[in-house]
Each structure stands twice: as C-alpha cells, then as structure tokens.
C-alpha cells in the first residue's frame, strides 16, 4: 500500500531536488538563448554535437521506446496481463518525446525554424525522416494519452470515447512510426563514416538502433516501475517485470549477435582486441548494455528476483545511453582527435529537462489514473490557511508543496546563475596569440645613431637599476617577435617624434590592418624588405675611421673607387660568426659570405617567420605582399595611405578599400 | 559555364594568403580572426575565415569547402538549406536553416564552421562566391582572382580535370599522378594536384570510399515499404490473435456453458487503456 504523498519524506526530498534542477536549467537555457551556444556549451567546430544531442535526443527517443513496445504487446499480440503498465509506458513515451523536442529547441542554433521540415522537405536527409517521425509520433502519443488525461472531465467524454474507438489504428500507426524513427536515428550515422571509429560505424546502424530501442524500452519501463515503487513505497508489479525482462533478454541476445556478426563479417573485430581505449570502451558498453543484463535476466540464481530486475534494467538503460553517446560523439574522437567533455551548463540543462519531465510524471501519477492503484492523498499545491481565532494552521502545513517547489526552484536558479557566470567567463576568453608584451629597457646609444639600424648597448631591462648613471640613457621598448624570446629593439619616442608627436599614436595603434592582431613593424618599414644589398657605405666609412679609411677597402689607389674594384667582403668579414646571430640559418652559405637581402629574407628570415608566426596566430611576415609592395616608391604616398586607413577606423568603408588597394 | 570548379596546384602556391584576404573582403567576414574557445587556431578555418592555407613542411595547401558532387552536408540538411546548385556549388540559405549542425557532422572533410558566438548563428563555409558570380558582380571567385601565382584557378570541372592531366603529363617527374578530388567521395569540384601526398598535408586519411549519401539513400528508399509492411503485419497479427482468442473463448463457452464464458478475456478489453 502506498504512503500518503504529503508525508512521504522520500518523495518530498526527490521533488525538491527535481525543482532545484529545473530552476538551474531554466537560467542556463535563458542565457543560451541570449548569448548563443558557444558560451554555454563545450561544443566546437570540431565537435558540433554534444550531450544535448547524444543524451537528450538520441537516448531520449530510445528511452521512450517502452510506449510502442508495450502497446504492441497488449493491443497487437494480445498479452492482456501487461494492461496495467501500458498507461505508465505511454506516459513515459509521451514525456520522453516532449523531452526530445525541448532538448532540440535548446540545442538547435535557430530553433524558430524547427517547423521548417514540414514545408521544406529534403527526402535524402535521414534527419528529415527523424523530424517528421518526432512530430507525427508525438501527436500519436498525445492522442493515445489524451483519454487518460481527459477521462475525469465530463465535457470531454465524446472525445474520449472517439479516441478509445481509434485505439487500434493509433497503436498501429505508432508502431510504424516508431519502427521508422528508432531506426532512422541509426540511419543518421550512415552519413558520418568519415568521423567514426570502425567499432561503432556500421552499415547496419538502422536495425541495430531499432533492436536496441526495443530492449531499452523494456528496460526503461521496468526501471521506471522499480523507481516509482521505491518512491511511493508501493508494491511493484514484479510478475509483469519478470515477463518484460525475459523478453528483453531475448532481444538483447539478438542485438549482441547482429552487432558482433556485423563486425566480424566486415573484418573489424580486430579493432576490438587492439588494446586501445576504444576497444575497452566497446567491451564495457557491450557488457553494460547486453552481456550482464542477459546474465541477470536468465541465470537461475537471479532470474525472477526483484533486485535482478532493477539492476538489470538499470544496466540496460546505462549501457544503451552509453551506446548512443558513443555513436553520437565519443567514437568520433578517434578520428577528430578532439576530446569533448560536456560543460556543466550542458549537464545541468539535460538533467533539468529530465527533472521537469519527472515532475510532470509524478504530477500525472498523483492526479490521473496512471496506475491501477493510484497513490493516496496527493500533496496539492495548497495555500496555507490560517485560522485567526484558533491561531492554528488549517489544511496544508505552513510549508506545503507549492512553497517547497518555489523555494527549490529559486535555489536552483541561483545555482544556475553562479554556474553560468563562471562558465561564460571561461568560454568568453579569446584563444590568446602567444605574443609577449613589449619590455621596457634602457640603452646607451653607440656613436653614430643616424645610420640605418640601431647601434646600442643594453644597460638594463625594466625594473633594474642602471649600474652606471653617468652615461646618456635612452628608454626603449623591446618587442618579442612571435613569442620566441627574440626581442627586437623599438625606439618608441623616436618613432613618435618622427611621425608627428602626440597626434601620431593612431598611425600604429589603430591601424586595423588586414589579418593583424597588432600592427607589425613591416607595415611601415617596407623599405627594409626591398631586395637591396645589405651593404651600407656610410656605416663602413664611420666604423673604419672616416675619410682617412677609403684605402682600407679601395686598395688600388689608381683604380676607380667602385664596388667592382674594392676588396671582397670576406677579406675582412672572416670568419662569419654564426653563433653570434639570433637568426637560425636554414640555408647553406659559402663560408665567409653574408647573405644578400633577398637570400636573408627568403632563406634566413622567412622560413622561421612562417612557422613561428603561424604558431602565434599572426601570419603577416609570411605573406609575400608584406614585402613585395613596389607601388610605394614615394614615402609621402605611403604615409598618406597609412593615414587614410587609420582614419577610416579599419573594418569597413573606404579604409577597407584602401587596405585592399595596397596589395599589388 | 556548365559547372563551377577550382583547381589548386600545390607546387605553385607560395602561401601568400592573398586568397584568404580576398575571401574576407568579398564575403565581408571581417578582417580580423580572434579565435575563441570553440574555434581552432587563428590560421584554421573558422566562421570568419572560409579559406586558409595549411602549411606542411614547405608545401602550402589551400583549404576550403570541396564542393562535393554528392555532398554529405546537403544530404544531411533536413530542409535543404545547404543544397547543390545547377553549377555544382554547395550553397547555403540561412533563412530556412534550423541550426541542427548535422551538416558539420556529415562533412567528410570537416570544412563547415559555425557562428558559435552568435544567438542567431549560421553555418559558414566557402560558397565559391556563387551569388556574386551568377549576379554578374564577379567573373570568378575572389580567391582565384587574387592569386598572384595562378596556383588556384577557376573553370569548368571537365576543363580543369583536363588541365590537371595536361600538367601532370607535361611534367611527370614533378607531379604525383593523381588528381585529388577527381574520384574521392564521389568526386569534388575542388581539385588538387601536388608533388607530395596530400594526406600528409591535412587531407583526411579516412575518407569514406563511396559518395557519402549513398548508403543512407538506400535505407531511406525502404521507408515507405517499411511503413506499409509493418502496418499490415501488425494489423494481420492483431486479427489472427484476436480471432484465436475469440475461437478459444467460444470453445470454452461451448464446453463449460454458462458463467465460465464471461470470465474469459474477450475482445474489446483494449478500450480500457
């Protein structure tokens, strides 16, 4: 005999937990609609389907299979003794499909288009078949369930009578639709061979899904009976469950045979014994979903025992939920290489949907005639009634079902807000390009700073105290080129001064150059990358002692002072010091010969920049057009163009056109 | 032009990314790529980068939608938001898209990308500048027009196949004798010739042998038959079993006449459910 629901602490605690989950899920779903899927899920371009598809939809449909299986057993095969559990099975199926639809509305990127398949039909799409089946079978389930919901409403009696007369056509339509629907979920994975582990991809996916759904439906009806018996402290229909589990054992056996024979025939069984994690997962799934339940349901020691029904059914459900998750996503990891772990927000949403449906189930059980022996005295959402004379509460206690539900809902919603807040903060971060922040440093200038390049001596980096304050110190910035700890000197003050003082900031800092995360030096210093010689006459002259030093190179005093008549470079530059350069040489050079600009850029610099810049997510030096922009011979023209881009603010309009026009 | 196709010669590509830039400007996907948690690296395909360059060793391989002749994505789309045009371009109509992302799961090359950061997200991928070309705005896709090396060229698929064969024939020592995309997954409109095996440069090693939609199509063809035959079978079984129960009840009534018959299960009980 079941206990009064108003005083059943087990039931009250369960309902509070369910309301709590609903509250949290509601908040998460709200945020998901406002901000999109990226922030509220762990889904990525590589893993576009996650828990909401794998659990809510794939498993949800399969878990609802009990409805058509039991309807078939009773109405088609005449097994009248199961009559008593058809109603709970139909209710479960109906709620299961509602759950699938709710799950889809959450998961679909553009849920307002969910009705489109009715009018835009793609007959080649397994998902179109799925969509139509969901719509039609949900309607059939609603019609099958309607008599139960309406039977106590006197005005609806004509409808109830009509639906009861239509029960056989409805049941047959339901079976047809379910057969198609359960299998079409498998058909969906015939299109995804390219991303599935061979142990799970199978041309027989459709029949495998159908067979497993039948077993899963039987298991789910059993499990649900066992759980609600525990919850309402009522006696479960053990006799009936015994029959269901015997049938389930047969179906599971069939499933096992088809699955293994299919793998064997296609020569894929080798993957099951290759010792990989996926092989382990495969055997775990088979053990949970089929092998262990078959043993529990058929071995003489456990057959017919209540505990064996409960645990066996739980294993079937867990095993096939795992199977759906494997087919729908986990086995894809073998190919895509990206492991997906559902975000907490996803888990909470899925649990919240299940919790909401469980609450509806409990509501129906307490209000309608779902069981032949309904639970006593439902805990109504009663208002607290207070007798001012007697100073006593009348009717419901001061904290009745309604208040408890609201409190749990609010607690859950608060938890949901905290969860979403944490989740969004993590997901909102950009994938950082590993470019280190510039460093401040102090240098002492060398004698002739007017020559090209920089002659300097590093005195101290930022934060250190210069050891010799007597010299002329210049603050400079060292810029990391690609996160490789190779710093390039950048004289910020000098740049600012040359470009026009305080008004010039935007020339570099607001360039919004195509593909750039930050403006690169090369955007202005194109002349450094022209294919010119590395030789600087002026610097050589200074270094060697001014006007008196001509003869150091132009040895023959009678010959014209030309490059051809001068000494070879490697007469002095010998040996070159490869250990002194920061650039790793990737090309072979004759000993003693420095590379020209073309060789240096193409051979020494470009290869590294291509690799390092791509790794840094910042491929600007790798682009040929970065250097080969011969249109700008005139420096003024370059600056004018640069300014116009900067003024346009970057991402559109005339500035964009200018930027595009800069490419030769 | 009968069909739109692209031939990329891997030996000619210098990896300058002018195609990437042209694609971004033409399709207005924004010039910056700031990857978030749901995207790959900055240089991977993303919803703002419909074509990119895969760099392997010292080869550069353009990566973008392959425009399969029998596309898995279009077969997957329940409403035909992704569909093949007469020219063989796999185009996209966001107005009817549900956002189910089945196309992303069904693409054997994994080329489709999604606007995860948007509350009104679209599937993003190369559409071969289809509307701009048919509308007369462009003569060829922005990427092929922008390529300074002529490494990626636009044309009819048959012409490009002939061109690929000609190049391989002219320089058999240089090229591998294979046109990637000619037969794979039923053929693609984006073709590659190369001097290195593209499987080492991001080409999927586990491609389905046949066109992706083939097997599913076979199963889907059985749907009407399945529906009717399951329905008839169920009705038949119901009829047989009810008849047997009725005969058994009549037999029981005949032998043990009187109240015994009333206790036997009779047809019509199912109306109680």
* DSSP string computed for A359-376: HHHHHHHHHS--SSSPPS
pLDDT, position B189: 93
Split at pLDDT 50, 70, 90, the class of A52 is: very high
CB A340 within 8 A of CB A54: no
pLDDT, position A645: 42
CB B72 within 8 A of CB B107: yes
Tokens of A141: 């389930």
| Closest in B30, B185, B237 to A76, CB measured | B237
Tokens of A377: 């005295």
- Inter-chain residue contact B114 with A203, CB threshold 8 Å: no
Question: Does any CB of chain A come closer than 8 Å to the CB of residue B71?
Answer: no
pLDDT, position A307: 86
Question: Does any CB of chain B come closer than 8 Å to the CB of residue A83?
Answer: yes
pLDDT, position A171: 92
Q: Is a pLDDT exceeding 70 seen at residue A398?
A: no
The alpha carbon of residue A648 is apart from the nearest alpha carbon of chain B, in Å, by 14
Tokens of A107: 């998961």
Of B20, B80, B97, B93, the C-alpha closest to B53 is B20
Angle subtended at Cα A62 by Cα A46 and Cα B73, rounded to the nearest 5 degrees: 35
Q: Between residues 32 and 51 of chain B, which touch chain A (CB distance below 8 Å)?
A: 32-43, 45-47
Rounded Cα–Cα distance for residues A313 and A319 (Å): 10
Q: Please, what sign has the CA dihedral across residues A587, A589, A592, A596? A: negative
Question: Does any CB of chain B come closer than 8 Å to the CB of residue A339?
Answer: no
Q: Is residue B193 helix, strand or coil? A: strand
Rounded Cα–Cα distance for residues A270 and A520 (Å): 53
Question: Does any CB of chain A come closer than 8 Å to the CB of residue B199?
Answer: no
| Closest in A49, A336, A515 to B21, CB measured | A515
Largest pairwise CA distance in chain A: 130
- Inter-chain residue contact A36 with B55, CB threshold 8 Å: no
Rounded Cα–Cα distance for residues B132 and B139 (Å): 8
Angle, helices A86-107 vs A205-231, to 10°: value is 110
pLDDT, position A466: 58
| ipTM of predicted complex | 0.88
| Beta carbons within 8 Å of A108's beta carbon, 6+ residues apart | A114, B98, B99, B100
pLDDT, position B232: 92
Looking at A358-367, A392-401, A550-559, B207-216, which range is the least confident one? Answer: A392-401
The number of angstroms, rounded, from the C-alpha of B201 to the middle of its chain's C-alpha atoms is 21
| Beta carbons within 8 Å of B118's beta carbon, 6+ residues apart | A36, A38
Distances, alpha carbon A400 to alpha carbons A231, A385, A413, in Å: 19, 11, 20
C-alpha R_g of chain A = 38
**pLDDT of A89-100, one tens digit each?**
999 999 999 999
Looking at A81-85, A168-172, A344-348, B254-258, which range is the least confident one? Answer: B254-258
Q: Is a pLDDT exceeding 80 seen at residue A585?
A: no
CB neighbourhood size of A527 (10 A): 12
Rounded Cα–Cα distance for residues B117 and A428 (Å): 9
Rounded Cα–Cα distance for residues B27 and B91 (Å): 14
CB B11 within 8 A of CB B194: yes
Nearest CA in chain B to A34: B119
Distances, alpha carbon A244 to alpha carbons A84, A92, A219, B84, in Å: 13, 16, 8, 48
Rounded Cα–Cα distance for residues A435 and A433 (Å): 6
Of B67, B23, B29, the C-alpha closest to B48 is B29
Of A248, A279, A249, the C-alpha closest to A263 is A279
DSSP string, A569-616: HHHHS-S--GGG-SSPP-S---TT----HHHIIIIIIHHHHHHHHHHT
pTM over 0.80: no
| Closest in B78, B146, B269 to A122, CB measured | B78
Burial per residue of B69-80, b for 16 or more beta-carbon CB atoms within 10 angstroms, e otherwise: bbbbbbbbbbbb
CB B17 within 8 A of CB A619: yes
Tokens of A192: 């995804």
Q: Which residues of A touch B206 (CB under 8 A)?
A: 194, 335
Q: Is a pLDDT exceeding 60 seen at residue A575?
A: no
Q: Between residues 209 and 268 of chain A, which touch chain B (CB distance below 8 Å)?
A: none
Question: Does any CB of chain B come closer than 8 Å to the CB of residue A414?
Answer: no
**pLDDT of A336-368, one tens digit each?**
888 888 999 999 999 999 999 999 998 888 888
Tokens of A116: 């489109």
DSSP state of B36: B
Mean pLDDT over A410-432 rounds to 82
- What is the rounded average pLDDT for all residues in chain A? 77
Rounded Cα–Cα distance for residues A566 and A573 (Å): 14
CB neighbourhood size of B137 (10 A): 10
Q: Mutate which of A73, A78, A111, A657 to test chain B, going by most B C-beta atoms within 10 A?
A: A78
Angle, helices B18-27 vs A653-661, to 10°: value is 160
Distances, alpha carbon A345 to alpha carbons A59, A352, A476, A482, B222, in Å: 19, 10, 47, 36, 40
The alpha carbon of residue B256 is apart from the nearest alpha carbon of chain A, in Å, by 22
Helix ranges (H only) for A36-166 are 37-40, 51, 60-63, 66-71, 86-107, 126-150, 157-165
> CB-based burial of residue B56 (10 Å sphere; 0-12 exposed, 13-18 middle, 19+ buried)?
middle
Rounded Cα–Cα distance for residues B233 and B227 (Å): 10
Rounded Cα–Cα distance for residues B126 and B67 (Å): 9
- Inter-chain residue contact A512 with B31, CB threshold 8 Å: yes
- Strand residue runs (E) in B57-107: 59-63, 82-84, 90-92
Question: Does any CB of chain B come closer than 8 Å to the CB of residue A192?
Answer: yes
**pLDDT of A115-155, one tens digit each?**
999 998 898 899 999 999 999 999 999 999 999 888 888 88
What is the total residue count of chain B?
273
The alpha carbon of residue B239 is apart from the nearest alpha carbon of chain A, in Å, by 8
Question: Does any CB of chain B come closer than 8 Å to the CB of residue A517?
Answer: yes
**pLDDT of A496-523, one tens digit each?**
887 777 777 766 665 444 444 445 554 4
- Inter-chain residue contact B78 with A131, CB threshold 8 Å: yes
| Closest in B42, B72, B227 to A617, CB measured | B42
Split at pLDDT 50, 70, 90, the class of A427 is: confident
Split at pLDDT 50, 70, 90, the class of A447 is: low
Instruction: List per-residue pLDDT tens for chain B, 273 residues long.
Output: 478 999 999 888 877 777 888 898 899 887 767 777 888 777 788 898 899 888 776 678 899 999 999 999 999 999 999 999 999 999 999 999 999 999 999 998 889 999 998 999 999 999 999 999 999 899 999 999 988 778 899 999 999 999 999 999 998 888 899 999 998 888 999 999 998 888 877 788 777 777 888 888 888 888 889 999 999 999 999 999 989 989 999 999 888 875 544 444 444 444 443
Q: Is a pLDDT exceeding 80 seen at residue A295?
A: yes
- Inter-chain residue contact A38 with B217, CB threshold 8 Å: no
Q: Which residues of B touch A631 (CB under 8 A)?
A: none
Question: Does any CB of chain B come closer than 8 Å to the CB of residue A43?
Answer: yes
Q: Is a pLDDT exceeding 50 seen at residue A594?
A: yes
The number of angstroms, rounded, from the C-alpha of A372 to the middle of its chain's C-alpha atoms is 45
CB neighbourhood size of A381 (10 A): 14
Tokens of A294: 């078959």
Element of type H or E holding A488: strand A487-490
Rounded Cα–Cα distance for residues B230 and B225 (Å): 8
Q: Is a pLDDT exceeding 90 seen at residue A381?
A: no
- Inter-chain residue contact A130 with B273, CB threshold 8 Å: no
Of B181, B83, B163, B87, the C-alpha closest to B132 is B87
Mean pLDDT over A607-615 rounds to 68
Question: Does any CB of chain B come closer than 8 Å to the CB of residue A586?
Answer: no
Q: Is a pLDDT exceeding 60 seen at residue A647?
A: no
Q: Is a pLDDT exceeding 50 seen at residue A178?
A: yes
Backbone φ, ψ for residue A143 (5° rounding)? -70, -35
Rounded Cα–Cα distance for residues B36 and A36 (Å): 13
Tokens of A519: 């403006």
The HSE-up count of residue A560 (CA atoms within 13 Å, CB side) is 3
Q: Which residues of B touch A428 (CB under 8 A)?
A: 36
Q: Which residues of B touch A208 (CB under 8 A)?
A: none
Q: Please, what sign has the CA dihedral across residues B224, B229, B230, B236? A: positive
Question: Does any CB of chain A come closer than 8 Å to the CB of residue B239?
Answer: no
C-alpha R_g of chain B = 29
Q: Which residues of A touch B58 (CB under 8 A)?
A: 607
The alpha carbon of residue A401 is apart from the nearest alpha carbon of chain B, in Å, by 30
């Amino acid at each position: 005999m079941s206990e009064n629901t108003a005083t059943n602490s087990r039931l009250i605690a369960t309902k509070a937990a369910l309301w709590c989950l609903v509250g949290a899920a509601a908040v998460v779903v709200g945020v998901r609609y406002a901000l999109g899927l990226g922030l509220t899920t762990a889904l990525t371009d590589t893993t576009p389907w996650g828990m909401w598809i794998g659990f809510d939809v794939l498993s949800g449909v399969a878990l609802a299979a009990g409805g058509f299986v039991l309807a078939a057993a009773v109405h088609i095969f005449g097994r009248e003794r199961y009559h008593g559990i058809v109603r709970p099975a139909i209710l479960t199926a109906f709620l299961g499909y509602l759950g699938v639809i709710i799950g889809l509305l959450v998961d679909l990127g553009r849920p307002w288009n969910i009705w489109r398949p009715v009018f835009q039909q793609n007959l080649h799409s397994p998902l179109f078949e799925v969509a139509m089946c969901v719509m039609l079978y949900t309607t059939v389930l609603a019609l099958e369930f309607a008599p139960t919901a309406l039977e106590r409403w006197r005005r609806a009696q004509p409808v109830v009578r009509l639906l009861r007369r239509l029960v056989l056509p409805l049941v047959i339509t339901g079976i047809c639709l379910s057969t198609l629907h359960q299998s079409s979920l498998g058909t969906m994975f015939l299109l995804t061979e390219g991303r599935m582990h061979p142990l799970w991809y199978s041309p027989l996916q459709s029949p495998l899904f159908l067979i497993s759904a039948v077993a899963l439906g039987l298991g789910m009806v059993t499990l649900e009976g066992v759980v609600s018996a525990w919850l309402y402290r009522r006696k479960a229909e053990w006799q009936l469950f015994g029959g269901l589990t015997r049938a389930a054992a047969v179906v599971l056996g069939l499933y096992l045979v088809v699955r293994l024979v299919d793998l064997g025939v296609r020569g894929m069984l080798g993957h099951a014994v290759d010792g990989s994690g996926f092989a382990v997962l495969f055997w775990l799934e088979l053990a949970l979903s089929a092998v262990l339940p078959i043993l529990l349901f058929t071995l003489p020691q456990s057959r017919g025992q209540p505990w064996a029904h409960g645990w066996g059914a739980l294993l079937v459900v867990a095993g096939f939920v795992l199977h759906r998750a494997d087919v729908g996503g986990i086995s894809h990891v073998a190919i895509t290489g990206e492991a997906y772990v559902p975000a907490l927000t996803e888990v909470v949403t899925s649990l919240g949907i299940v919790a909401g449906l469980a609450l509806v189930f409990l509501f129906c059980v307490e209000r309608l005639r779902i069981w032949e022996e309904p639970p006593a005295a439902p805990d109504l959402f009663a208002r607290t009634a207070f007798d001012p004379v007697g100073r006593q509460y009348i009717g419901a206690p001061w904290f009745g079902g309604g208040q408890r539900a609201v409190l749990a809902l609010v607690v859950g919603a608060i938890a949901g807000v905290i969860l979403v807040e944490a989740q969004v903060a993590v997901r909102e971060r950009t994938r950082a390009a590993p470019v280190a922040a510039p460093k401040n440093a102090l240098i002492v200038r060398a004698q002739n700073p007017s020559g090209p390049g920089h002659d300097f001596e590093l005195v101290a980096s930022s934060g250190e105290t210069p050891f010799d304050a007597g010299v002329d110190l210049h603050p400079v910035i060292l810029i990391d080129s690609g996160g490789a700890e190779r710093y390039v000197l950048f004289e910020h003050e000098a740049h600012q001064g040359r470009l026009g003082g305080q008004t010039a900031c935007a020339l570099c800092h607001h360039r919004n150059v195509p593909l750039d995360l930050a403006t690169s030096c090369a955007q202005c210093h194109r002349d450094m990358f022209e294919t010119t010689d590395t030789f600087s006459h002026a610097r050589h002259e200074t270094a060697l002692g001014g006007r008196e030093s001509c003869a150091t190179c132009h040895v023959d005093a009678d010959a014209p002072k030309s490059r051809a008549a001068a000494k070879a470079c490697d007469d002095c530059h010998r040996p070159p010091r490869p250990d002194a350069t920061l650039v790793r040489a990737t090309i072979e050079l004759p000993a003693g010969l420095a590379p020209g600009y073309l060789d240096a850029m193409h051979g020494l610099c470009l290869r590294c920049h291509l690799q390092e810049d791509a790794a840094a997510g910042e491929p600007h030096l790798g682009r040929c057009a970065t250097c080969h922009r011969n249109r700008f011979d005139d420096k003024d023209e370059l600056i004018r163009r640069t300014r116009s881009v900067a003024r346009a603010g970057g991402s559109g309009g005339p500035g964009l056109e200018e930027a595009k026009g800069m490419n030769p | 032009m009968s069909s739109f196709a692209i031939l990329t010669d891997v030996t000619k590509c210098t990896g300058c990314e002018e195609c990437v830039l042209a694609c971004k400007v033409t399709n207005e996907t924004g010039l910056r790529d700031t990857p978030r948690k749901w995207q790959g690296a900055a240089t991977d395909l993303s919803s703002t980068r419909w074509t990119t360059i895969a760099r392997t060793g010292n080869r550069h391989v353009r990566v973008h939608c392959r425009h399969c002749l029998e596309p898995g994505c279009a077969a997957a789309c329940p409403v035909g938001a992704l569909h093949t045009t007469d020219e063989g371009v796999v185009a996209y109509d966001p107005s009817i898209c549900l956002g189910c992302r089945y196309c992303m799961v069904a693409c054997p090359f994994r080329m489709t990308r999604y606007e995860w950061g948007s509350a009104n997200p679209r599937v993003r991928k190369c559409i071969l500048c289809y509307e701009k070309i048919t509308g007369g705005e462009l003569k060829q896709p922005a990427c092929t027009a922008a390529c300074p090396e002529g490494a990626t060229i636009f044309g009819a698929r048959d012409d490009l196949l002939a061109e690929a064969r000609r190049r391989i024939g002219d320089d058999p020592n240089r090229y591998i004798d294979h046109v990637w995309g000619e037969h794979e997954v039923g053929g693609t409109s984006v073709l590659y010739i190369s001097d290195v095996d593209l499987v080492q440069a991001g080409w999927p090693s586990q491609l389905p042998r046949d066109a992706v939609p083939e097997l599913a199509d076979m199963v889907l063809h059985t749907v009407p038959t399945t529906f009717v035959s399951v329905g008839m079978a169920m009705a038949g079984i119901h009829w047989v079993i009810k008849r047997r129960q009725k005969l058994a009840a009549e037999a029981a009534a005949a032998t043990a006449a009187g109240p015994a018959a009333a206790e036997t299960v009779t047809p019509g009980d199912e109306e109680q459910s």
